[in-house]
């Protein structure tokens, strides 16, 4: 009996270790495979894995921004040791009884080490407390179903109760088709949650990363007080392919990219990844030293 | 009632003779004054809105307009609004709040217009701001889904305190064609998608997305529009009476939408 309990515990710990490695691919890279080169999708030049890691997945030659996993992003943004995950085990259901969906989720949980397409956490950024949510495009394109909507809403709620700023990194293909209409309803839910938080005087900063499209763009991602984006990120409501089919012509170069949105008045700034943490520290500082003034504003 | 397949309802919801927003406004309201323009860019004919009297009571009424003749349809982009349509709707809703008028919305759209200019003018932002405007609105919103409720373009007018839906209307995360094309890479499987998506009024009632299904004539709304207007008139009167008893429409709406899908939420250990 005791032995059984012990080996179970050991098995569980080993599994956790494997999952942690999977969700943080770069951790593994640090120790293994760091001498392996692979080409930059932007300029085609060979970049070593070590170099990708050192530059936070940004090409040192052309500045191409490769995706970053949710845990990795939190590690880049939060003060080290301040990370505390919120609603780590929260999951949704299968409202359509959709063929193969539960199995797909199970497989993705195994291969990515993620529970869902967003990771929410409490932590500090330059000493200031904050609630952060990061979407991960490896998990069903970062699509928003019930679990994602619920986690975002809860994060906004935590930020409101604890008078902390809310920082959301968006990366999503849109609504999660496999959950049907309830995915659409998460747009309403997240809009409710972030507006309520903002009306209570909360600071909400959104950072749009590649890609941010569909129902996420058309809900909480577009409602922030300050909207930032990483360079070259695809940001839009309809996908480029759908638009091309509608208008029957190819889209101009750079259409729906961060720089295009900045030019059209939908972003405050395009911020390269290496400067993101610094900008966030400044924004939190501007809203009150250490975010301390947060929540004092009264809605008239 | 359930003998009709979901796909048959999709077909009925898109029937060219099915009454649309314009017909409902003409049949159920008096003294309609159309308000046009978003005061920012232009006026979108795909969204029709204004002030009217409902049994003598001033209300703001807004809905997607599809048009019936070929020319009208082109003019209204087949009921697919542009950002300025949603921004016009926001303007009308805020004005309704100022004057204490309830807002009545009619939903009938395949979705927001997926065009180059629509994107350049911030289609996503416009829909998001509509959701935010509705979530903040201090007057009640009553939503009627009368035909196609397609995607975010429909939701942008559909965050009612009460959501009523006609028996053969549909409401879904995406069109069945789009759903099939994304999940099965085959848009010709729309019929199969319709059955899988749970997009009928009955399904949505079960999922807690709508509050009430309004019956249609056996052959569908187009067969006897007068009968449908009577049903809708009665349901709307009832919904307005109920809305008048809500102390804070904002809180009521907030609770309603924060609840969406919560029944499915569980916890798993890592
Ligand atoms: Zn490069």
pLDDT band at B205 (very low <50, low <70, confident <90, very high): very high
- Mean pLDDT throughout A108-125? 97
- Mean pLDDT throughout A67-92? 96
Q: Which of B60, B180, B129, B114 is nearest to A227 (CA)?
A: B129
Supply the pLDDT for residue A144: 98
Q: How many structural domains compose chain A? A: 1
Phi, psi of B233 (to 5 degrees): -55, -45
The boundaries of the domain holding residue A93 are: 68-288
Q: Among partner residues B129, B155, B265, which is closest to A187 by beta-carbon distance?
A: B155
- Mean pLDDT throughout A273-279? 98
Q: What predicted TM-score, i.e. pTM, was given to this entire model? A: 0.94
Contact of B47 with B86, CB cutoff 8 Å: yes
Q: How far is the CA of A273 from the centre of ligand 1 (A)?
A: 14
Q: Do B129 and A187 touch (CB under 8 A)?
A: no
Contact of B129 with A218, CB cutoff 8 Å: no
Give yes or no for B267 touching A (CB within 8 A). Answer: yes
Residue A13 domain flag: no
Residue A224 domain flag: yes
Phi, psi of A60 (to 5 degrees): -70, -15
Cα–Cα distance between A271 and A231 in angstroms, integer? 6
Q: Do B114 and A219 touch (CB under 8 A)?
A: no
Q: What is the ipTM of this complex?
A: 0.98
Cα–Cα distance between A145 and B225 in angstroms, integer? 37
Q: What is the pLDDT of residues B39-66, one digit of tens each?
A: 999 999 999 999 999 999 999 999 999 9
CATH superfamily of B6-269: 2-enoyl-CoA Hydratase; Chain A, domain 1 (3.90.226.10)
- DSSP assignment letter at B2: T
Residue A9 domain flag: no
Q: What is the pLDDT of residues B99-154, one digit of tens each?
A: 999 999 999 999 999 999 999 999 999 999 999 999 999 999 999 999 999 999 99
Compute the mean pLDDT over every residue in chain A, rounded to the nearest whole number: 90
Q: How far is the CA of A189 from the centre of ligand 1 (A)?
A: 39
Compute the mean pLDDT over every residue in chain B, rounded to the nearest whole number: 96
pLDDT band at A290 (very low <50, low <70, confident <90, very high): very low
Q: Which of A14-28, B38-52, B179-193 is predicted most confidently?
A: B38-52
Q: Among partner residues B127, B183, B260, which is closest to A189 by beta-carbon distance?
A: B260
Whichever domain contains A193, its CATH number is: 3.90.226.10
Residue A98 domain flag: yes
Provide the sign of the torsion angle of the four alpha carbons B187, B193, B198, B199, taken in this order. Answer: positive
DSSP-derived pairing of the beta strands A84-86 and A118-125:
antiparallel
Residue A63: strand, helix, or coil: coil
Cα–Cα distance between B25 and B52 in angstroms, integer? 8
A26 pLDDT above the threshold of 80: no
A1 pLDDT above the threshold of 50: no
Name the strand (E) or helix (H) holding A122. strand A118-125
Contact of A42 with A59, CB cutoff 8 Å: yes
Q: What is the pLDDT of residues B210-268, one digit of tens each?
A: 999 999 999 999 999 999 999 999 999 999 999 999 999 999 999 999 999 999 999 88
pLDDT band at A6 (very low <50, low <70, confident <90, very high): low
Supply the pLDDT for residue A3: 57
> Which DSSP string do the residues of B199-227 spell out, in sequence order?
-BHHHHHHTTS-SEEEP--TT-GGG-HHH
- DSSP assignment letter at B20: -
Q: Do A264 and B121 touch (CB under 8 A)?
A: yes
The pair of structure tokens assigned to B67 is 């048009």
Number of helices and strands in chain A (H, E):
11, 10
Contacts of A188 in chain B (CB under 8 A): 131, 135, 155, 159, 257, 260
Q: What is the pLDDT of residues B4-16, one digit of tens each?
A: 999 999 999 999 9
CA separation, residue A137 to residues A66, A114, B99, B147 (Å) = 11, 11, 45, 34
Residue A15 domain flag: no
Q: Which residue of A has its CA nearest to B127?
A: A218
Residue A19 domain flag: no
Q: How far is the CA of A46 from the centre of ligand 1 (A)?
A: 8
Give yes or no for B90 touching A (CB within 8 A). Answer: no
């Amino acid at each position: 009996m005791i032995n059984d309990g012990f080996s179970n515990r050991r098995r569980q710990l080993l599994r956790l270790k494997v999952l942690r490695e999977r969700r943080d691919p770069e951790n593994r890279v640090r120790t293994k495979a760091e001498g392996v080169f692979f080409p930059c999708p932007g300029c085609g030049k060979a970049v070593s894995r070590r170099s990708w890691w050192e530059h936070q997945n940004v090409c040192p030659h052309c500045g191409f921004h490769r995706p970053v996993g949710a845990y990795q992003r939190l590690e880049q943004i939060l003060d080290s040791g301040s990370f505390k995950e919120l609603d780590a085990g929260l999951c949704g259901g299968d409202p359509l009884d959709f063929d193969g969906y539960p199995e797909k989720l199970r497989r993705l949980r195994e291969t990515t080490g993620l529970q869902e397409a967003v990771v929410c956490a409490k932590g500090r950024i330059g000493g200031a407390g904050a609630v952060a949510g990061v979407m991960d495009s490896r998990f069903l394109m970062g699509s928003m179903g019930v679990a994602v909507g619920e986690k975002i809403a809860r994060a906004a709620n935590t930020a409101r109760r604890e008078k902390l700023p809310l920082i959301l990194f968006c990366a999503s293909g849109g609504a999660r088709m496999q959950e049907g209409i309830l995915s659409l309803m998460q747009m309403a839910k997240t809009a409710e949650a972030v507006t309520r938080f903002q009306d209570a005087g909360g600071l909400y900063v959104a950072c749009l990363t590649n890609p941010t499209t569909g129902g996420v763009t058309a809900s909480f991602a577009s409602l922030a007080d300050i909207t930032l984006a990483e360079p070259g990120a695809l940001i839009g409501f309809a996908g480029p392919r759908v638009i091309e089919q509608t208008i029957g012509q190819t889209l101009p170069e750079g259409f729906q990219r961060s720089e295009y949105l900045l030019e059209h008045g939908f972003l405050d700034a395009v911020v390269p990844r290496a400067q993101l943490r610094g900008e966030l520290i400044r924004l939190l500082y501007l809203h009150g030293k250490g975010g301390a003034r947060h929540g004092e504003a009264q809605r008239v | 009632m359930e003998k009709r397949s979901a796909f048959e309802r999709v077909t009925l919801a898109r029937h060219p003779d099915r009454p649309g927003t314009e017909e409902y406004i003409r049949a159920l309201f008096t003294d309609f004054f159309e308000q046009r323009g978003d005061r920012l860019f232009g006026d979108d004919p795909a969204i029709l809105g204004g002030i009217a009297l409902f049994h003598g009571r001033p209300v703001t009424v807004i809905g997607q307009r599809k048009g019936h003749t070929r020319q009208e349809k082109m003019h209204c982009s087949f009921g697919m609004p542009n950002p300025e349509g949603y921004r016009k709707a926001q303007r009308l809703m805020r004005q309704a709040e100022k004057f204490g008028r309830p807002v009545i919305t009619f939903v009938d759209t395949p979705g927001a217009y997926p065009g180059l200019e629509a994107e350049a003018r911030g289609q996503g932002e416009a829909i998001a701001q509509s959701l935010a405007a509705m979530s903040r609105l201090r007057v009640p919103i009553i939503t009627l889904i009368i035909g196609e409720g397609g995607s975010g373009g429909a939701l942008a007018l559909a965050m009612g305190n009460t959501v009523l839906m006609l028996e053969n209307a549909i409401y879904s995360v995406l069109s069945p064609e789009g759903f099939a094309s994304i999940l099965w890479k085959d848009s010709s499987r729309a019929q199969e998608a319709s059955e899988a998506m749970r997009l009928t009024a009955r399904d949505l009632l079960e999922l807690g997305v709508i509050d009430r299904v309004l019956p249609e004539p056996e052959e569908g709304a187009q067969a006897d529009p007068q009968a449908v207007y009577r049903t809708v008139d009665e349901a709307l009167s009832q919904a307005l009476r109920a809305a008048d008893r809500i102390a804070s429409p904002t809180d009521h709406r907030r609770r309603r939408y924060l609840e969406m899908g919560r029944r499915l939420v569980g916890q798993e250990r890592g």
